[in-house]
Amino acid sequence: MSTISINLLFGGIGFIAIIIFIILLHRRITLLTRGRDRLSLEEIIKENNKLIHEQEQVIAQFEKRISFLENEDLKNIKNIKVLRFNPYKETGGNQSFALSLLNKNKDGIIISSLYSREYLHLFAKPIKNGTSEYTLSKEEQEVL
């Protein structure tokens, strides 16, 4: 066998191997691009992009709702404290009380009562930023 024959034989074998490789590669690409429901890969990518865009809109709506709820949460009563006390030595028991109802911003109200055998006084004092424009008793300051 001559060198030319050997070169042609190896060249032919190489050519056949390349053809087989190309056929297998073409088959894999066809299967990949055919996709589910016989959609092309381009159509699948477009569909996925559309779904991603829709999900981004849903996420944006959730972010707005969460922001709204966080702002509303600041207005809800979070800090509740009650202190019972006896303002008068002659009466028995701690029948009087001071009650604070405040949100996270320390806005709200303090309700207090002074109880004696003859009468009951109720007081309500607005609270803004942890302070009141009215004078607070020692017990009211304690629940604040």
Per residue in 65-79, pLDDT (tens digit) is 999 998 888 888 988
pLDDT tens-digit series, residues 96-134: 999 999 998 889 999 999 988 788 899 999 999 989 999
132: Cβ contacts below 8 Å, ≥ 6 apart: 110, 125, 126, 144
Structural contact between residues 94 and 86, judged by C-beta atoms closer than 8 angstroms: yes
Mean residue pLDDT of the chain comes to: 88
pLDDT tier, 22 (very low <50, low <70, confident <90, very high otherwise): very high
Quote the pLDDT of residue 80.
93
